[in-house]
Structure 1
Amino acid sequence: METPIKIDISVIVPSYNGMPLFKTSLDSVLAQEGVIYEVLVGNDSPSDGETKNYLNQIENKDLRVFHNEKNLGLFGNLNNLIKHAKGDIVHLWSQDDIMNPNCLLETVKFHNSHPNIAYAFSRVEVINEHDEVIDKTPLSNNDTMSALTHTLTSLMAGSVPGNIANVSIRKNIFETYGYFDVNLKYSGDFEFWCRITEHLPVGIIQKYLIKLRRHTGQLSRNPKMWIYRIEENDAILETLLNRVPKNKLKYINRGLKWRVYNQYFGLYLNLLRSGDNKEAQAFLRVIKKYSNISGFYFRYVILKILSVIKRDKKFLHWLYYKQAFGNNGK
């Protein structure tokens, strides 16, 4: 009897009406070097004949395809694929991004040298629709982030990795902490990162392993979706606030008021400028629980004035960041 081949890492690829960029993305995943891997694709659009036909004609022993009979949604699709994964590590993926050839090798190496982390994320290059690099996340010397720093950063900036496509997790983390919450349509990833990091640090792979595609059709760039995202985030932020040490809580609340809620108000103003008054008023009803309208305008105008003279970052640093983040706030 042959000994089953041990799979180092499983790539989890949720798909929904992704052609033609999906083909380029999947090709980059199937071109990985240096590790034994498998690729699991969940086609979550039963009526998408083009994607189904494309996947059915691929002959690759490393690929397993699941055509969902009914739409599971992003997080239901991810959960189903993760449960079928055979690798000790799973790398989440997005249907329109590009994976560099050494991505999985570097990911496996990192997890082998950091076995006790909640999850890891890599640095990314951002590309446009023409595959041109237009931005990149900065590198640093830190290869881990403490549980507390992850909590504080999540409160101020939202999802720490910024995307699912640069995230890798040991499968036993899911078995210990559960899977993505399918009741959350937009913030299931953010909730999961926060759930598993209460006591565990996060790994940071200080290498550019993927190219993240940015285009106007992405859900995450649609400001209207923030109405629902903000509502889902409320319970997550409340959980995170309960983890903040008392000596930092005052400064974190300042940061929420001046940074996070100010960004919400900026989205409201953008909706007004775009002429979508109905959506703007719906948005305002959601965010009014954080401040009255005069308070919003006061903070927004102050920060706008400071940004013109390039003093806004210095002001926020003085107001909350240094006290909240301690040595990381230098």
Structure 2
Amino acid sequence: MIDMRSDKISVIIPVYNGENTIKETIESVLNQSFTNFELIIINADSTDNTLSIISQTKDDRINVFSYPKANVAVNRNRGINQATGDYITFLDADDLWANDKLAAQYTALQENPQAGVAYSWTNCIDENSKFLRKTSHVNWSGDVYSKFLLDDFIGNGSNVMIRRDVLTEVGGFDESLTNAQDTDMWLKLSAITNFVCVPKPQILYRIQQNSMSSNVIGLEKSNLEVIKRGFAREKAKSLQHLKPIAIGNLYKYLCYKVLAAPPGKQQNAIAGRFLITAIKTDISLLFKPIIFKAVLKLLAMIILPPNWASMFFQKLPRLSNTSTFLGYEKTT
């Protein structure tokens, strides 16, 4: 039987102006069946009631550190520097965990000593914490480097548990990246260690209203850099044939992000460029039905006025749902 009292887990929550969700997020940690953890909250100069709400929860395992505002990579690294646990895991300030998340991932790592990282499945919730949809429920363990080259199947930063010595070996999150810091970290980790899957949904990833309209140009730039790094490693020497597929997958995802946003001329132009680039990079996409679905939606967005297009997609939800570009729902 595995003794869950001998090792300590460090849970790191970066937060900036998270007054609407931080209480529920903290509760999902305190409700864990695995109890030997420290909860490190990195407050990035919040200007709302975040700190006041945090202070209302009295638990000796909670440690709050305040810093100037910075991106998520910087704040996670700040948490790593404060952590004293044998295992490190991260949770965004608006996401939630099932109450057995820590226990299940810890057990998986104990039962698989060759693995340095454990991950679980993710489901999406709305702003009211109601179930929206499931996401990637793959069950890949062992050497998963080639899988990550093609797509970030973990999909969010609130998932993995990492052995501290493994995380120390690869270093922290890349603070120079404006996006895709998670994918960059998973690639660095999978280049040196095995992953193990906990095949059950334990992460509840919150989809905020208008979250689809993020900076897709920034996403494009950062993800292309991460793909470039991934294929430049010695471990990818025999995997170069996967590069066109990886870039094609990226542009499918970027196109989905734009098509999921409200119709508009700027979005249409960007979506068109992304779709053409995806096809040029990976010609096999022409033979996949989802591409025709994307083209039809894009044409409707171009031809119809924005309000008409929105009404049209409401009447035909199967056409408007382009979220299956990669064969499953993405979280971000």
* TM-score class, shorter: 0.7 to 0.9
What is the aligned partner in structure 2 of residue 37 from structure 1? 37
Contact kept? 2:19, 2:53, Cα under 8 Å: no
1:61 paired to 2:29: no
Partner of residue 230 from structure 1, selected from 220, 223, 227: 220
**Partner Cα separation in structure 2 for residue 306 and residue 32 of structure 1:** 42
Residue in 1 aligned with 2:299? none
Q: Is 1:12–1:40's contact at 8 Å kept on the other side of the alignment?
A: yes
What is the CA distance between 1:290 and its match in structure 2? 7.5
Kept in 2: contact 1:258–1:299 (CA 8 A): no
1:174 to 167, 171, 175: 167
Q: Is the 8 A contact 1:7 1:86 kept in 2?
A: no
Alpha-carbon RMSD = 3.6
One-letter amino acid matched to 1:199: I
Provide the C-alpha distance between the structure 2 equivalents of 1:110 and 1:31, rounded to a whole number of angstroms: 20
Structure 1: distance between partners of 2:293 and 2:99: 45
Residues 136, 154 of structure 2: 8 Å contact kept: no
Contact (CA 8 Å) 1:262, 1:300: kept in 2 or not? no
Say if 1:256 and 1:160 are closer, same or farther in 2 by CA, change over 3 A.
closer
Counterpart amino acid of 1:101? N
- Find the aligned partners of 1:175 and 1:24 in 2 and give their Cα distance: 30
Contact 1:265 1:296 in 2 (8 A): no
Quote the residue 2:99 is aligned against: 101
Question: 1:234 is matched by which residue type in structure 2?
Answer: L
Gap change, CA 1:270 and 1:129, over 3 Å in 2:
closer
Deviation at 1:66, TM superposition (A): 0.8
Going from structure 1 to structure 2, the CA distance change for 1:300 and 1:257 (only over 3 Å counts) comes to farther
User: Does the aligned pair in 1 maintain the 2:254–2:274 contact within 8 Å?
Assistant: no
Distance 1:6 1:40, change over 3 A: farther
Deviations 1:97-154 (A, max 9, x none): 22222221112211212233242211122222232223224656x46141xxx33322
Q: Which of residues 201, 218, 236 is equivalent to 1:208?
A: 201
Instruction: For 2:132 and 2:15, locate their aligned partners in 1 and report how far apart those are by CA, in whole Å.
Output: 25
- Given the two structures, how large is their TM-score scaled by the length of structure 2? 0.74
Partner-residue secondary structure (3-state), 1:144: coil
User: 1:68-96: CA deviations, max 9, x gaps?
Assistant: 2x113211111111111111011210111
Shift of 1:285: 7.9
Question: d(CA) in 2 for partners of 1:108 and 1:183?
Answer: 31
> Tell me, what secondary structure is at the counterpart of 1:203?
strand
Contact 2:18 2:93 (C-alpha < 8 Å) held by counterparts: yes
- Report what 1:274 is aligned to: 263
1:64-75 equivalent positions in 2, closer than 5 A = 64-68=63-67, 70-75=68-73
Q: Distance in 2 between matches of 1:34 and 1:283?
A: 45
Give the match for residue 9 of structure 1: 9
- Partner Cα separation in structure 1 for residue 173 and residue 25 of structure 2: 23
Q: Provide, for residues 242-266 of structure 1, a one-character-per-residue CA deviation record: whole Å limited to 9, x for no partner.
A: 44454x533x244246543344456
Three-state SS of the structure 1 residue aligned to 2:79 is helix
Q: What is the DSSP-based 3-state SS (H/G/I as helix, E as strand, rest coil) of the residue aligned with 1:235? A: helix
CA distance in 2, matches of 1:10, 1:282: 41
Match of 1:249 in 2: 240
* Superposition deviation, residue 20 in structure 1: 1.7
- 2:109 and 2:147 map into 1 onto residues whose CA distance is 22
- 2: CA distance, partners of 1:292 / 1:209: 37
Which residues in structure 2 correspond to 1:110-129 (within 5 Å)? 110-129=108-127
Most deviating of 280-289 and 96-105: 280-289
- 3-state DSSP of counterpart to 2:124: strand
